Structure 1
């Protein structure tokens, strides 16, 4: 057994005294602080207070987890619903943020940057969220410019901007979208907007009405002229000059009907897609010159000129008759809406990327109002600015151009301002071997 000295015993005694002093001071402080703590906690102990606080934090965490799960469930159910709904559905949360939207909703000009930008729909969402129920209405929107890009159009716009008035900046034409809108609340947080795009039905109705108004009227004319000629021949004593005039009117109307039937047949042919082959490679400038030759007699009648220029190296795949007819229609259109003695320019160049042939037909005629430009490529549509040379038209020329462009995987674009003339641009993809 080790020897314990007096010094060791004294040291241990001091340590025990020190521990006792610390415990005493701690008890004294506790006696002083506890009344204050109990007063602040309304008599609850610190342990109870900490336990309660911990329980609240745990409950909040559990509630947040439950909310997240509910939100996820809602998103899953909403996604399932959206996948079954026709049209272009949009879901908006309580902060007016779009949480789900069909791509068509952006193209239709309703949603942009996760926000509903159409004021009437935005107001309907707020009203339905506050009052419940649903609301239905019809609305017309415009397609945003970023969805209207066409190959070759940017070059055309810039060149026209350089030559046009500074206040007449060329822009792509946006077609209207006719929508049937239904807005309803699906929960406390979410409102759904259903967009039914009925644009094609409306456009079909417009084409039908234009056909009835224009074509049927023109088809009646030959019958009336023939009846007039027959009456002249039946009556005795009429001068030969009168009979000759009636005969000329019959010949003119029959020629008009023949022209219309040819346009209808050409429009039907232009519905078939053109497949590139080794046998349908065409020189674009040659086709433009041939089209100008066809239109030359019309120009000579009014002392007008047709100037064709451009690159002789551009080759596309296509049907010669269709492409030539499309350029011819653009030239005829330019001549008919230009004054006597005017010049129409036909320019053939590649686009800046070197992948498309761009045929521009430029006139300095009356121009086309911006409000009519969205419809001029529709079948049987005729604008308000008709003259004595265009009064008998039925509105098929530009429709033929559009369909020829589409069947050749190309596009057609217009820049026009009243009093400044028009530039029609036919864009066709180059032969891939040449484009590369």
Structure 2
């Protein structure tokens, strides 16, 4: 019994000692791995492949802020493998994530591209991957911020523009009520009230048109549109204004050209340009409307010999509610939305609007649209053949 007990005791002591040694070895190995991790610059398996497949700019940087791996989209921001981060903002957010033992998010501007570089607004999220490695992911929010700013400006400008005619209508209504016993004054106030109501209706209509053009929905009335049809419609809509201003509209250029689009939208856009040209032209002058085919596009130019647009205003002329001549706009009833409508209408048709202007010499606005082939039924030979077939069906064999 004594021998057996001693053997069991020895076995137990051996097991305890073995377990202790195993624990010590395990703790030593873990401490070794932890120490290696503290100084290791090895990228965890799979991360580099993920980075190379990302569309957003992203990178892994070490404690010295050197880029170990990056996505292709990061290069334009100066984030290149084996090169240290140069942007102070990126360096700061990387340190912040590493020191806080977690995630850091910052929004700031970075330069993108080579000279001339452009400033972009980005949101950067830095995540600590290991004691020495940090993951940076950039999200370009420039366009989102621009659209949001446009929305805020649109609401503010619309409220401001609507306030003037609404206030005038209210005051004129009170004036009519006060002058109820004076028919002559009532007629004067009623006439002014009608003018303000028309101005309010015009402004509301243009705001709705611009909102429709800026919507993401596709244009619903797209078809093969004769440019001649668009010009005729736009010119006829402006004849009364031209006659009142003693301005002659002269049309010239190529004929029988076609574009794909919404005829009404294009006609309204061209009418806006002609209306502006008339409003800014002197009495007895001419407004030219010309059409020219250039390779695979159609150019429709509206030219006046008016006051012209200063160079400082030419970059902003297509902004909503922007006016170069506030006094003239008030006299002519301008809303400041016409050129913005033109720009968006043409862009929705895959084209662009160009401007040439010199103060004192006049302005030329050119609408550029993709050219399409004339439909078969519109070609002269096909029309003649079609008419003969029709005559044959009717029994006319001349």
In the superposition, the TM-score normalised over structure 2's length comes to 0.63
1:105-116 equivalences under 5 Å are 111=76
Counterpart contact for 1:377–1:402, Cα < 8 Å: no
Match of 2:71 among 87, 100, 105: 100
Q: Report the 3-state secondary structure (helix = DSSP H, G, I; strand = E; otherwise coil) of the residue aligned with 2:327.
A: coil
Match of 1:411 among 332, 339, 351: 351
Correspondence for 1:228: 175
Are 1:313 and 2:260 matched, yes or no? no
Q: Report the 3-state secondary structure (helix = DSSP H, G, I; strand = E; otherwise coil) of the residue aligned with 1:395.
A: coil
Distance 1:351-1:114 versus aligned 2 partners, 3 A rule: farther
Counterpart contact for 1:349–1:359, Cα < 8 Å: yes
Match of 1:91 among 45, 59, 68: 59
1:162-311 equivalences under 5 Å are 179-182=121-124, 184=126, 192=136, 194-197=138-141, 198-233=145-180, 236=181, 238=182, 240=184, 242-267=185-210, 270=213, 273-274=218-219, 280-311=223-254
Correspondence for 2:25: none
Correspondence for 1:366: 308
Shift of 1:328: 0.2
2-structure distance, mates of 1:182, 1:204: 25
Larger CA Rg, structure 1 vs 2: 1
Distance 1:143-1:403 versus aligned 2 partners, 3 A rule: farther
Unaligned runs of 5+ in 2: 1-39, 377-398
1-structure distance, mates of 2:152, 2:335: 16
Counterpart contact for 1:415–1:422, Cα < 8 Å: yes
Match of 1:325 among 268, 276, 286: 268
2-structure distance, mates of 1:227, 1:289: 44
1-structure distance, mates of 2:284, 2:373: 40
Q: Report the 3-state secondary structure (helix = DSSP H, G, I; strand = E; otherwise coil) of the residue aligned with 1:306.
A: strand
More relative contact order, 1 or 2 (CA 8 Å, 6+ apart): 1
1-structure distance, mates of 2:243, 2:107: 54
Are 1:348 and 2:291 matched, yes or no? yes
Shift of 1:288: 1.3
Match of 1:429 among 340, 349, 370: 370
Distance 1:113-1:127 versus aligned 2 partners, 3 A rule: closer
Counterpart contact for 1:124–1:183, Cα < 8 Å: no
2-structure distance, mates of 1:121, 1:417: 43
Are 1:397 and 2:338 matched, yes or no? yes
Shift of 1:301: 3.0
Distance 1:400-1:74 versus aligned 2 partners, 3 A rule: same
Distance 1:423-1:142 versus aligned 2 partners, 3 A rule: farther
Distance 1:348-1:185 versus aligned 2 partners, 3 A rule: same
Counterpart contact for 2:343–2:353, Cα < 8 Å: no
1-structure distance, mates of 2:113, 2:336: 24
Q: Report the 3-state secondary structure (helix = DSSP H, G, I; strand = E; otherwise coil) of the residue aligned with 2:197.
A: helix
Correspondence for 1:122: 87
Per-residue Cα deviation, 1:371-417 (whole angstroms, up to 9, x for no partner):
66357244xx323532324464333322332343244x322323255
Distance 1:130-1:358 versus aligned 2 partners, 3 A rule: same
Shift of 1:91: 3.2
Counterpart contact for 1:91–1:101, Cα < 8 Å: no
Q: Report the 3-state secondary structure (helix = DSSP H, G, I; strand = E; otherwise coil) of the residue aligned with 2:252.
A: strand
Equivalent residue pairs, number: 315
1-structure distance, mates of 2:228, 2:51: 55
1-structure distance, mates of 2:155, 2:258: 38
Per-residue Cα deviation, 1:40-85 (whole angstroms, up to 9, x for no partner):
xxxxxxxxxxxxxxxxxxxxxxxxxxx99848744135457x57xx
1-structure distance, mates of 2:231, 2:113: 33
1-structure distance, mates of 2:315, 2:112: 13
